[in-house]
């Protein structure tokens, strides 16, 4: 019996059923061509392909994609070519920049060091054979500034860093320049301006180039040696009776900032607490003995000057340093310091005691008169004063004011006097901050030296503020070196925190 061929076309379990007529009509028996028509798929038919659902996932980062490739050569090469995160690049740049800045300005620092030698030692005054060096300080200053400017521009892209102290001193210089055309003697003003401009320029150079503790301590060591020499010379003149100032007091063995006994005493007052602080900040016995001996020599030099302002400044500096060192039982410390000072005065030479406790002599009366006169002029000329270097023309006795604060107020105006006070006081703010941050862990080697140096600088600034109330020194080097040292300590401390 013949089998019906239609059954072979109807039985297709894995394909869609097609009518026999359609397949024959297509002209290909047994294989149906696909057509546009198809019945609904059975419910149990497996799904071989489906579209993935929309995803909200974030595209994986480069690090996630290459995570399996860690510890491979390809990963190392790839990481080197990838741009590093901004924070990492900034940190690496900061560290490298700090190292460059610490080593930068080597020639400028050398210029400052050489200039300080000429300022403190003045070798051309020790021997006539060295008279040709008399203008060396000026040319060293010019060369230092000429080297400093392009170096600073290359390192930091500016002429100077701008802590508040630099702003204050630049404002002081501006008032000095503006006051000259309105002064009684512009020539005197220009002469004073040339000297003061040199002080300001070297101060700005110091602020930028003293970038390490080594550089700072090298300058301090140089200053200590010079101060010890002039102290010994002053004591020798006092003991030998070489009283060339009005027949009653010594004068400095060299000129410049050490010629006047009151100015010499002021300088020694600022150096004494620094020497004591460095002695406490070192564990080296030789250095400790050197600093202590230097401090004692400075005190002897102050006694030799018979300066009342120097004695008051020394007492204030030692009192502040003692209170900083002893945080508890401060009342007994104050009493002990006062007792020691009175005991030292008791064993001091008779002429020294007589001058210290005398307030009605001709010198004291003259100073009081000029103090009143300078206050009167400051009130009469509050904006620009009488002009830089011109107070002497208004003095009743053709003398200086013998007071740094009223000298600035009377010559440059009350606003300039305010900037001068801020210039001296402002460093105390940052020094106090560093003291608080290093107080509890100052036993670490690095923090120990910074901690005690900060204490010494605070005491030195206080001593200067007291002693300068009796001296005409606002345009001289004393305060500017101290403030530059304070800024250097602050920058050194900040660089260590960033390293």
Chain segment 310-339, per-residue pLDDT in tens:
999 999 999 999 888 887 777 787 888 788
Q: What b/e sequence results for 184-200 when a residue is b if at least 16 CB atoms lie within 10 Å of its CB, and e otherwise?
A: ebbebbeebbeebebbb
Q: Which of 242-246, 345-349, 405-409 has the highest average model confidence (pLDDT)?
A: 405-409
Q: Which residues pair with 245 in a beta bridge?
A: 249
Shortest CA distance to 200 belongs to which of 224, 223, 168, 158? 168
pLDDT tops 70 at residue 95: no
**Does residue 439 have a pLDDT over 70?**
yes
> Mean of the pLDDT values across residues 199-205?
95
Res. 470: pLDDT tops 80: yes
Confidence check: pLDDT of 66 > 50: no
Position of tokens 């702003």? Answer: 167
The pLDDT of residue 427: 96
User: Among the ranges 219-228, 300-309, 353-362, 487-496, which has the highest mean pLDDT value?
Assistant: 219-228
pLDDT of amino acid 139: 92
Alpha-carbon span 276 to 293, nearest angstrom: 9
Question: What pLDDT does residue 332 have?
Answer: 80
Q: Which residues contact 438 (CB under 8 A, 6 or more apart)?
A: 447, 450, 451, 454, 493
The region of weakest confidence among 30-34, 56-60, 171-175, 201-205 is 30-34
Mean pLDDT of the chain: 81
- Cβ–Cβ under 8 Å, residues 441 and 233: no
Stretch 37-64: mean pLDDT, rounded? 52
For 19, list phi and psi in degrees, rounded to 5.
Answer: -70, 145
Weakest mean pLDDT among 43-57, 183-197, 464-478: 43-57
pLDDT band at 72 (very low <50, low <70, confident <90, very high): very low
Residue 135: Cβ-neighbour burial (10 angstroms; 0-12, 13-18, 19+): exposed
pLDDT of residue 40: 53
Rounded to an integer, the average pLDDT of 112-119 is 94
Confidence of residue 362 (pLDDT cuts 50, 70, 90): confident
d(CA 142, CA 198): 9
Which tens digits make up the pLDDT trace of 288-314? 999 999 999 999 999 888 888 999 999
Residues 92-101, mean pLDDT to the nearest whole number: 51
- Which is higher by pLDDT, 50 or 317? 317
Given the structure tokens 């798929």, which residue do they identify? 41
413, 385 in Cβ contact below 8 A? yes
Average pLDDT for 366-374: 90
- Comparing CA positions, the residue from 475, 490, 477 lying closest to residue 189 is 475
Region 412-429: mean pLDDT is: 96
Distance CA 431, CA 420 (A): 18
pLDDT in tens, 210-221: 999 999 999 999
Looking at per-residue pLDDT, the higher value among 43 and 484 belongs to 484
Query: Is residue 431's pLDDT more than 90?
Result: yes
What pLDDT is recorded for position 14? 46
CA distance 106 to 385: 40
pLDDT of residue 313: 94
The full 3-state SS of the chain, as one line of letters, equals: CCCCCHHHHHCCCCCCCCCHHHHHHCCCCCCCCCCCCCCCCCCCCCCCCCCCCCCCCCCCCHHHHCHHHCCCHHHHHHHHHCCCCHHHHHHHHHHHHHHHHHHCCHHHHHHHHHHHHHHHHCHHHCCHHHHHHCCHHHHHHHHHHHHHHHHHHHHHCCCCCCCHHHHHHHHHHHHHHHHHHHCCCHHHHHHHHHHHHHHHHHHHHHHHHCCCHHHHHHHHHHHHHHHHHHHHHHHHHHHHCCCCECCCECCCCCCHHHCCHHHHHHHHHHHHHHHHHHHHCCCCHHHHHHHHHHHHHHHHHHHHHCCHHHHHHHHHHHHHHHHHHCCCCHHHHHHHHHHHHHHHHHHCCHHHHHHHCCCCCHHHHHHHHHHHHHHHHHHHCCCCCCCCCCHHHCCCCCCCCCCHHHHHHHHHCHHHHHHHHHHHHHHHHHHHHHHHHHCCCCCCHHHHHHHHHHHHHHHHHHHHHHHHHHCCCCCCHHHHHHHHHHHHHHHHHHHHHHC
User: pTM for the complete prediction?
Assistant: 0.77
Residues 387 and 181: beta-carbon distance below 8 Å: no
State the pLDDT at residue 333: 78
Burial class of residue 103 in the structure, from the number of CB atoms within 10 Å of its CB (0-12 exposed, 13-18 middle, 19+ buried): exposed
Q: How far is CA 326 from the centre of its chain?
A: 26
User: Which tokens sit at 88?
Assistant: 């990492």
Q: What residues contact 145, with CB distance under 8 A and at least 6 apart? A: 201, 205
pLDDT at 154 over 80: yes
Is the pLDDT at 41 greater than 70? The verdict is no
Top pLDDT among 330 and 266 is at: 266
By C-alpha distance, which of 327, 227, 347 is closest to 275?
Answer: 227
Q: Rounded distance, CA 214 to CA 217, Å?
A: 5
pLDDT bin (cut points 50, 70, 90) of residue 46 is: low
How many C-beta atoms surround the C-beta of residue 243 within 10 A? 15
**pLDDT band with cut points at 50, 70 and 90 for residue 169:** very high
**185 pLDDT exceeds 80?**
yes
For residue 28, name the pLDDT band (cuts at 50, 70, 90): very low
Query: Is the confidence at residue 176, as pLDDT, over 90?
Result: yes
Residue 284 contacts by C-beta under 8 Å, 6 or more apart in sequence? none
Burial (0-12, 13-18, 19+ Cβ within 10 Å), 244: exposed
Band of the pLDDT at 279, cuts 50, 70, 90?
A: very high
Confidence bin at 251 (pLDDT 50/70/90) = confident
Contact present, 468 and 266 (Cβ < 8 Å):
yes
Residue of higher predicted confidence among 26 and 494? 494
User: Which of 5-14, 165-174, 194-203 has the weakest average pLDDT?
Assistant: 5-14
249: β partners: 245
């Amino acid at each position: 019996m013949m089998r019906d061929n239609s059954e072979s076309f109807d039985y297709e379990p894995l394909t869609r059923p097609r009518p026999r007529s359609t397949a024959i009509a297509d002209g290909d028996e047994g294989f149906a061509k696909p057509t546009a028509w198809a019945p609904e798929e059975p419910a149990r038919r497996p799904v071989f392909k489906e579209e993935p659902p929309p995803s909200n996932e974030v595209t994986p980062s480069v690090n996630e994609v290459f995570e399996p490739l860690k510890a491979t050569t390809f990963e190392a090469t790839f990481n080197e070519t990838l741009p590093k995160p901004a924070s990492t690049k900034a940190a690496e740049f900061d560290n490298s920049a700090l190292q460059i800045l610490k080593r930068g300005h080597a020639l400028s620092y050398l210029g400052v060091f050489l200039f300080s030698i000429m300022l403190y030692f003045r070798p051309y005054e020790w021997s006539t054979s060295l008279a040709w060096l008399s203008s060396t300080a000026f040319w060293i200053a010019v060369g230092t500034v000429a080297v400093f400017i392009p170096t600073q521009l290359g390192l930091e892209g500016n002429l100077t860093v701008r802590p508040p102290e630099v702003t204050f001193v630049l404002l002081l210089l501006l008032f000095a320049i503006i006051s000259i055309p309105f002064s009684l003697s512009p020539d005197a003003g220009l002469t004073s301006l040339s000297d003061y401009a040199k002080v300001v320029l070297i101060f700005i150079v110091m602020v930028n180039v003293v970038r390490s503790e080594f550089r700072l301590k090298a300058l301090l060591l140089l200053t200590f040696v010079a101060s010890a020499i002039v102290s010994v010379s002053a004591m020798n003149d006092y003991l030998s009776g070489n009283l060339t100032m009005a027949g009653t007091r010594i004068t400095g063995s060299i000129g410049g900032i050490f010629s006047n006994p009151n100015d010499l005493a002021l300088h020694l007052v600022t150096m004494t607490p620094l020497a004591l602080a460095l002695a406490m900040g070192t564990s080296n016995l030789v250095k400790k003995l050197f600093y202590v001996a230097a401090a004692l020599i400075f005190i002897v030099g102050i006694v030799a000057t018979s300066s009342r302002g120097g004695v008051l400044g020394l007492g204030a500096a030692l009192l502040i340093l003692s209170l900083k060192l002893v945080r508890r039982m401060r009342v007994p410390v104050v009493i002990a310091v006062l007792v020691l000072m009175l005991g030292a005065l008791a064993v001091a030479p008779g002429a020294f005691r007589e001058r210290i406790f005398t307030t009605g002599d001709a010198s004291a009366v003259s100073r009081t008169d000029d103090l009143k006169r300078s206050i009167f002029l400051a009130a009469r000329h509050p904006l620009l004063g009488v002009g830089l270097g011109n107070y002497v023309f208004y003095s009743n006795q053709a003398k200086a004011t013998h007071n740094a604060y009223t000298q600035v107020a009377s010559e440059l105006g009350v606003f300039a006097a305010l900037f001068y006070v801020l210039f001296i006081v402002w460093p105390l703010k940052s020094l106090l901050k560093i003291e608080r941050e290093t107080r509890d862990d100052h036993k670490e080697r690095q923090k120990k030296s910074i901690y005690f140096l900060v204490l010494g600088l605070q005491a030195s600034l206080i001593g200067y503020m007291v002693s300068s109330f009796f001296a005409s020194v606002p345009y001289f080097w004393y305060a500017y070196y101290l403030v530059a040292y304070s800024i250097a300590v602050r920058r050194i401390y900040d660089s260590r925190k960033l390293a």
